[in-house]
């Protein structure tokens, strides 16, 4: 049970690769965090990973099978995607939006049945939002919408969750709500998650492994602790960083403290990793 | 009340209203027919025995085809409007967004100019209506984008639409202002007055097939209205489903416009009334649009027939009645629910 990218490369324009030879994998129940500064290719990576954009080279594999060879509806029963929370043009009721998560099980002309509705409600319970049923998407907060989108992904009963900046734009509490949910799903439902995030603290909190993108195709992948060091992040983000660790109730909580901006080096990069 | 119950009750009420008003509409008109006679003609066992008379001719050759056409045209335009609003994720989309109406208008105007008969004009209109959409598809494909965005399609639709609109103007410009131009102008206004049994039978199958296809795809329409990646991640085969929706709506609209001219407003107004009543879930919006569209068109056409000895083109009435109804609903429901 694994999702992996082997030597993935992608460029929007010929000759300027944004991703080059990216390889990483996540085993069952693991969380992989993808980090990097704005515009470095995190969202592009997610799009390539899921086949929304075609890899120029390399391949995404689900349990060893080439993702492109898996039929659409089978693939999306196993892999669910949680986009950045943006309210849809038409404000559906939350439970109807979650019900759309059952789509991979339904043919083009099929209607969701009683079982689909039950599973959608169950997904809302898993995401901790049964109380939002009956509300329209334009009547709930951004944090609640993000949870609705996660519930929609869960309605497909997936083995893999790919989340694009799920906690961006949320308040302090809602960030933790989302992070705890992802952690709990991986632990209890044995779901494997790939999470794009802007926050190293969040990656340290929930991920087993991390992929750090430096730009121009340079990247590092490994155990989160070994990848998200002050030195690496300085090079990736152009900020001097201190990391402090605080044990509370037997659990280590890491805090990443940004200190000072640093100037770009001669190659337009901060420091070679 | 529970959403599903409310929906079921409304649909039953609408269905009953359609039946009642259809029968009433059969009786009404410049040539009044007694309800008893209508029932006899419709269901009577003795109908084969009755002599061929004016009543029978009016009913079977004029009124029944016309009323049926009004019903399915209203249903088809509303379903197509709802489908395009979801497909383009745009509450302002109408069945004409891809240029079907102007394409069909050009075909009809050309047919009239060339002196074609009713069937030829209708076929030419149908052909050009579908050609307009095919052209939009080709333009978007040829633009190099592997997956043409829906915005691009709307833009291409606007371009093709105005191209055909210019061609219609050209035909009108060269048409003889004494006899040909008034025919073209009246045709373009949109009316069911010219509907005969044969024009109904020519248009109806396409309208029905297109509308049924949209009805069957109604749950998929919800996913289509989301962002492209989201829709794809829900296991939707975008290329196939989009093509089906475009084909269904184009077929429906082209067949309607070619049979009765351009009837505006219905495709925008009715789906939004459905949204105000039941929310945006297309499992409700599409069937409610079909029902409400059929009913609305029937009422407006009956009014167009009976108001005055000289008929008022139905497209004028749809706007005159539609606008205030829409504003009233907007005020009562507290705004557009999108």
pLDDT band of B328, cuts 50, 70, 90:
confident
Distances in Å between the alpha carbon of B191 and those of A41, A68, B11, B299?
A: 56, 51, 27, 13
Q: What is the pLDDT of residue A210?
A: 96
- Contact yes or no for B215/B291 (Cβ under 8 A): no
Q: Residue B43 — very low, low, confident or very high, per pLDDT cuts 50/70/90?
A: confident
List phi, psi (to 5°) of B329: -65, -40
DSSP B284-333: HHHHHHHHHHHHHHHHHHHHHHHS-SSPPPHHHHHHHHHHHHHHHHHHHH
Rounded-to-10 torsion of CA A218, A224, A227, A228: 100
Mean pLDDT of B298-308: 90
Q: Which of B268, B271, B267 is nearest to B257 (CA)?
A: B267
| Residue A1 pLDDT | 81
* Cα A247 to chain centroid, rounded: 26
Has residue B4 got a pLDDT over 60?
Answer: yes
Contact residues, A window 32-71, toward B, CB-based 8 Å cutoff: 47, 50, 52
Q: How far apart are CA B291 and CA B150, in angstroms?
A: 28
CA dihedral B262, B267, B270, B273 (to 10 degrees): -140
Average pLDDT over residues B175-198: 90
* Chain-chain contact of A112 with B219 (C-beta, under 8 angstroms): yes
Flag the least confident range among A234-248, B25-39, B84-98, B189-203. B25-39
- Top residue of B6, B233, B245 to mutate, by most chain A CBs within 10 Å, is B233
Contact B220 A83 (CB under 8 A): no
B338 within domain boundaries: no
The string of pLDDT tens digits covering residues B93-136 is 999 999 999 999 999 999 999 998 889 999 999 999 999 999 99
Query: A50 contacts in B (CB within 8 Å)?
Result: 229, 233
Taking an 8 Å cut-off on Cβ atoms, the answer to whether B89 and A93 are in contact is no
In a domain, B101, yes or no: yes
Give dist(CA B28, CA B37) in Å, integer: 12
Residue A73 is encoded by which pair of tokens? 């509806």
Please tell me if residue B219 touches chain A, with a CB cutoff of 8 Å: yes
CB within 8 Å: A100 and B226 = yes
Mean pLDDT over B239-251 rounds to 95
Asked whether residue B220 is domain-assigned, the answer is: yes
User: In the prediction, which pLDDT does B11 show?
Assistant: 96
Average pLDDT in the B184-197 region?
Answer: 89
Q: Whole domain around residue B263: which residue ranges?
A: 3-333
B80 versus A267: the higher-pLDDT residue is B80
Per the CB < 8 Å rule, is B89 touching A90?
Answer: yes
Domain assignment of residue B84, yes or no: yes
Has residue B70 been placed in a domain? yes
Q: What is the pLDDT of residues B206-221, one digit of tens each?
A: 999 999 999 999 999 9
Give pTM, 2 decimals: 0.92
Structure tokens given for A72: 């659409």
Confidence class for position A62, pLDDT limits 50, 70, 90: very high
Structural domains counted in chain B: 1
Chain A environment of B241 (Cβ under 8 Å): 108
Over residues A146-166, the pLDDT tens digits come to 999 999 999 999 999 999 999
Residue A123: predicted pLDDT: 96
- The mean pLDDT of B165-175, rounded to a whole number, is 95
pLDDT tens digits along A238-273: 999 999 999 999 888 999 999 988 877 655 666 655
Instruction: Please tell me the distance from the alpha carbon of residue A161 to that of residue A218, in angstroms, as a whole number.
Output: 25
Select the residue of A86, A88, A100 nearest B234 (Cβ to Cβ): A100
A86 touches B: beta carbon within 8 Å: yes
Residue B259 lies inside a defined structural domain of this protein: yes
pLDDT value of position A268: 60
Task: Name the percent of chain B lying above pLDDT 70.
Answer: 93
* List of residues 6+ apart from A105 with CB closer than 8 A: A73, A77, A116, A156, B235
A25/chain B closest Cα distance in angstroms? 20
User: Is A103's Cβ below 8 Å from some Cβ in B?
Assistant: yes
SS3 A23: strand
A248 touches B at CB < 8 Å: no
CA-based nearest residue in chain B for residue A113: B219
Contacting residues of B for A43, CB less than 8 Å apart: none
Q: Are A244 and A257 in contact (CB under 8 A)?
A: yes
Residue of B nearest to A52 (CA): B229
A10-41 tens-digit pLDDT:
998 888 888 999 999 999 999 999 999 998 89
Residue B288 lies in a domain: yes
Q: Do B280 and A52 touch (CB under 8 A)?
A: no
Q: What's the confidence (pLDDT) of residue B52?
A: 65
Cα within 13 Å of Cα(B296), Cβ side: 33
B90 in A contact zone (CB under 8 Å): yes
User: CB distance A108–B240 less than 8 Å?
Assistant: yes
Residue B243 forms contact with A (CB below 8 Å): no
Report whether pLDDT(B50) > 70: no
- Shortest distance, CA A2 to any CA of chain B (angstroms): 19
The confidence score (pLDDT) of residue B309 equals 76
Mean pLDDT of B12-20: 97
Averaged pLDDT score across all residues of chain B = 90
pLDDT at B337: 54
**B29 assigned to some structural domain:** yes
Q: Residue B47 has what pLDDT?
A: 55
Q: Are A85 and A174 in contact (CB under 8 A)?
A: no
Section B237-255 average pLDDT: 95
Residue A69 token pair: 């060879």
Rounded to 5°, angle at Cα A10 from A4 and A16: 145
Q: What CATH number has the domain bearing residue B129?
A: 1.10.3470.10
Whether chain A has a CB inside 8 Å of the CB on B155: the answer is no
CB proximity B212 to A under 8 Å = no
**Ranges assigned E (strand) in B5-144:** none
Predicted complex ipTM: 0.91
Average pLDDT, chain A: 92
B83: buried, middle or exposed (CB in 10 Å: 19+, 13-18, 0-12)?
buried
Which of B85, B234, B280 is the mutation pick for testing A, counting most A CBs within 10 A?
B234
Asked if B82 has any chain A CB less than 8 Å from its own CB, the reply is: no
Kindly state the average pLDDT of the residues B176-194. Answer: 90
pLDDT of residue B310: 81
**Mean pLDDT value across residues A215-232:** 92
At A69 the three-state DSSP class reads helix
For residue B99, give the H/E element and its range.
Answer: none
């Amino acid at each position: 049970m694994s999702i992996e990218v082997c030597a993935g490369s992608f460029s929007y324009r010929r000759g300027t690769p944004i991703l080059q030879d990216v390889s990483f994998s996540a085993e069952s129940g693991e969380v992989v965090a993808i980090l990097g500064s704005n515009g470095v290719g995190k969202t592009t990576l997610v799009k390539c990973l899921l086949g929304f954009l075609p890899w120029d080279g390399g391949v995404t594999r689900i349990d060893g099978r080439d993702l492109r060879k898996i039929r659409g509806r089978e693939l999306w029963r196993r892999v669910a995607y949680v986009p950045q929370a943006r309210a849809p043009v038409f404000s559906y009721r939350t439970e109807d939006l979650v019900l759309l998560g059952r789509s991979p099980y339904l043919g083009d002309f099929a209607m969701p049945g009683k079982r689909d509705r039950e599973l959608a409600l169950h997904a809302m319970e898993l995401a901790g939002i049964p109380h939002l049923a009956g509300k329209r998407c334009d009547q709930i907060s951004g944090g609640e919408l993000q949870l609705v989108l996660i519930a929609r992904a869960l309605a497909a009963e997936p083995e893999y969750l790919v989340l694009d900046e799920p906690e961006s734009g949320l308040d302090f509490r809602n960030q933790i709500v989302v992070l705890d949910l992802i952690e709990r799903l991986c632990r209890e439902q044995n779901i494997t998650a790939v999470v794009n995030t802007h926050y190293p603290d969040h990656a340290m909190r929930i991920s087993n492994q991390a992929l750090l993108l430096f730009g121009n195709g340079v990247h590092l992948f490994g155990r989160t602790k070994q990848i998200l060091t002050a030195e690496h992040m300085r090079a990736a983000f152009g900020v001097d960083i201190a990391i402090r660790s605080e044990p509370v109730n037997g659990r280590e909580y890491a805090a990443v403290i940004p200190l000072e901006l640093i100037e770009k080096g001669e190659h337009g990069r901060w420091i070679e990793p | 009340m529970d959403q599903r119950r409310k929906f079921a009750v409304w649909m039953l009420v609408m269905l009953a209203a359609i039946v009642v008003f259809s029968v009433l509409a059969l009786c009404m008109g410049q040539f009044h027919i007694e309800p008893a006679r209508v029932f006899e003609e419709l269901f009577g066992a003795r109908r084969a025995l009755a002599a061929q008379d004016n009543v029978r001719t009016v009913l079977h050759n004029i009124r029944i085809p016309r009323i049926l056409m009004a019903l399915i045209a209203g249903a088809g335009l509303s379903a197509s409007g709802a489908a395009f609003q979801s497909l383009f994720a745009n509450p302002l989309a109408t069945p004409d967004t891809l240029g079907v109406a102007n394409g069909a208008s050009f075909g009809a105007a050309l047919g009239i100019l060339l002196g074609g008969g009713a069937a030829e004009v209708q076929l030419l209109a149908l052909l050009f209506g579908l050609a307009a959409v095919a052209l939009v598809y080709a333009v978007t494909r040829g633009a190099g984008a592997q997956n043409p965005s829906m915005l691009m399609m709307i833009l291409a639709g606007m371009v093709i639409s105005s191209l055909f609109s210019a061609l219609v103007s050209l035909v009108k410009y060269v048409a003889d202002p004494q006899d040909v131009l008034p025919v073209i102008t009246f045709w373009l206004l949109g009316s069911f007055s010219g509907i005969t049994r044969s024009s109904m039978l020519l248009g109806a199958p396409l309208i029905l097939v297109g509308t049924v296809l949209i009805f069957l795809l109604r749950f998929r329409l919800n996913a289509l209205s989301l962002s492209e990646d989201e829709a794809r991640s829900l296991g939707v085969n975008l290329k196939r489903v989009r093509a089906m929706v475009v084909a269904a709506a184009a077929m429906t609209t082209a067949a309607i416009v070619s049979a009765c001219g351009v009837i505006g407003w219905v495709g925008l107004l009715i789906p939004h009334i459905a949204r105000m009543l039941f929310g945006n879930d297309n499992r409700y919006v599409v069937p409610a649009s079909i029902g409400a569209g059929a009913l609305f068109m029937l009422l407006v056409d009956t009014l167009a027939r009976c108001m005055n000895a000289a008929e008022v083109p139905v497209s004028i009435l749809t706007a005159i009645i539609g606008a205030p109804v829409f504003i009233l609903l907007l005020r009562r429901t507290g705004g557009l629910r999108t």
